[in-house]
Structure 1
Amino acid sequence: MSRITLSAHGYELAVNPDYGANLTALSWRHPDGRLVDILRGCDDTALIPGEPSPVGCFPMAPFANRIDGGSFSHAGRDYALPINRPQDRCAIHGFSRFAAFEIIFQGEGTISLLHRYRGDVFAYDLVQDIIIDARGVAVRLAVTNRGAAMPFGLGLHPYFPLEAGARLRFSAAQRSESDDRYLPLRFVPAQTVPDLGGGFALADVAGFDAHYSGWEPRLVALERPSVGLSIKVSGEEAFSNLHLYVGPDRDFVCIEPVSHIPDAHNRSDLAQHGKLAVLGHGEAFAGTMRISASEMSSLNANGF
């Protein structure tokens, strides 16, 4: 497995073009000299083609999250996709996360990678651009439809490690309530439990999984006081929605900027909370996630 490392502005990032252009490391040089992990890192030699591994972040295209039964209808036709999560009878996270990407450009602190996918239902080109600058790390996904008109979605799935005392804060209008397969049943007001705006302790929400619409401003603050790190995650362009998942052992949180709700292909009744983009042949759309790190101030250390 190949590993490409980018270093700039205090950030060190590793990306693996042979394994879905996954980020396998991202760290930041703290002012005291420590190199602190921002994303969960992994050993590239342990990656198994086609198998999930504990990477730091992977791209989701041409859809994010789940499609019930791997099937949907569009423009009067029925389509079936491979079920890659059989225990939940779902297609999940698209077709690019394990694919080999081509390097189309590499410079100082930047790289562009391309996946050309040609399937029976979807045909597309996906470009992942990574740019490290003074504002932090930007990861941009742009998909271009190379087939017939189809509904497309995008997302990024980063894993942030957690320690005792970690807290999260953001604002959103609505939160999903889901069935036991994490498919949305309805949306309810978001400012209930946990207290998003006031900042909540991630140790209190083990195994938490929810989707948020009306994510405004498109910013999440993650505070990790035990390592003195403040992280900001934002979404731009098509990334209007947020998916949040806290691991069952409370050792990581996934803060996922996405373009649509789970199972949007089959939930037209919930389209107001985040619908797919129908792209004609040659049409494209894109979303950008930005991650920045800074030293926690004494104010932040006391709860933002």
Structure 2
Amino acid sequence: MASQIFLDGEFVDRENAKLSVFDHGLLYGDGIFEGIRAYDGNVFKLAEHIRRLYDSAKSILLDIPYSQVEMAELVCETVRRNHLSSAYIRLVVTRGTGDLGLNPYTCHGARVFIIAEQLAMFSSSLYEEGIKTVTSPTRRNRTDALNPKIKTLNYLNNILIKMEALAAGANEAIVLNSEGYVVEGSGENIFIVRDGVITTPPCYLGALEGITRATIIDLALELGLTVREQSFTRHDVYVADEVFLTGTAAEMVPVVECDDRTIGDGTPGPITKRLHQVFQLCTRRDGMKAYPQEAIS
């Protein structure tokens, strides 16, 4: 059965899910999106994702033609229509079809589409063994040029960074801002652990306010661990006891090498492992059930 895509009020087969070549999302990256996960029928942190989507929309003066409650239900319905229990969901809102040229007021209304499919960001073995990273020569966009709190369709910066990681034979890249501070990965937040203290860069340096990032911080505090939001450099990554990345698509993945330096003893550390365990429990608990309870019992 072909994937069922929600597109502007109806569900269509994948082959029929089409946008105009005059859509501002395609022409200018003028739009926003959310990546969302479902685990065993639970759409993880759905309310938080929907709120962030509408915050992004407000910031760029983009009117979404559904309420937040309606949008959450559409996400769940997309999961149900594709008969999925665990899935990666991509929710996209573009400015819509308009004229050539930057003027957004020629557009005729937002376009909304939702995709739900299975996704594996990294192979299962890498979550057990850890990934290798390199520092990207491409710097993260300046926050005074494009606010990282807005989850826009402008991802060329991230794509170039990912290409550099793959070209170097690494799984992922570590990204610096224009001042040389570590910001994140190509599409993930970063955490380091040193002497039992967990540190992650403050988002004003250029990182997205990740929902998985916030979840990990909360879980660490519940476990009685010390968490700091503080700037750090590549040196701090090299000498860390543990390093891991977090994101909706990547989930939580350990880093065991950066720029040919072994992190810790070269294996995922105990704090990373403990947080990963409680995170997995959290993904099945916190969120919105896509199916009625009797349908999954």
Q: TM above 0.5, one fold? A: no
Larger radius of gyration: 2
Length-normalised TM-score, structure 1? 0.27
Structure richer in strand, relative to its length: 1
Structure richer in helix, relative to its length: 2
Which protein, 1 or 2, shows the higher relative CO under an 8 Å CA cutoff with sep ≥ 6?
Answer: 2
